[in-house]
Amino acid sequence: MERILVSACLMGRKVRFDGRAKTSSDAWLAGWREEGRLVPYCPEVEGGLPIPRPAAEIEGGAGGAAVLAGAARVLASDGSDVTAAFVSGARGALAAARSHGVRLAVLKEGSPSCGVLSIYDGSFQGRRAPGQGVTTALLEQHGIRVFTEEQLDEAAAYLRTLET
């Protein structure tokens, strides 16, 4: 059975920067949980950051690949450099994925770790820009397909291709 890495906040875990969850009630996720497929993971907490914590954005709105290449930093709203924790959390996510044979992930859109199609632009003004979070970029660099929680029909179709 294919396992699926999933952002822990989507599964009701209160791991976000503001101490809350972003629980998804989507039927696909509920079904996959029932089947025992899900591997919940929060890269920021596993990378060593506390709950709650200041919001963070990738400098200049650069994508996660730029962070992994050492070309951009992740900064918290208090000005501290949290790049190392984000990269460590991404590596932990990849290790968790590999240990479960994961080839598919569902991650929370917009997050500087988990964003798939968009992230915040680094201005802390609430503006989004196209780009991936740090964990998403690392997973995709290693052949793991990542979908947002808004693309679960597509994720389900991809899962079917893996299992047929």
Residues near ligand SF4 (CB under 6 A) are 7-9, 15-16, 42-44, 108, 111, 113-114
CB of 15 to ligand SF4, least distance (A): 5
CB of 133 to ligand SF4, least distance (A): 7
For ligand SF4, the closer of residues 83 and 113 by Cβ is 113
Which secondary-structure segment (H or E) carries 68? Answer: helix 64-68
Question: What is 99-134 written as a DSSP string?
Answer: HTT--EEEE-TB-TTT-SSEEE-SSSSS-EEE---H
Distance CA 121, CA 126 (A): 8
For ligand SF4, the closer of residues 16 and 145 by Cβ is 16
CB of 34 to ligand SF4, least distance (A): 21
For ligand SF4, the closer of residues 81 and 160 by Cβ is 81
Cβ–Cβ < 8 Å for 10, 32: no
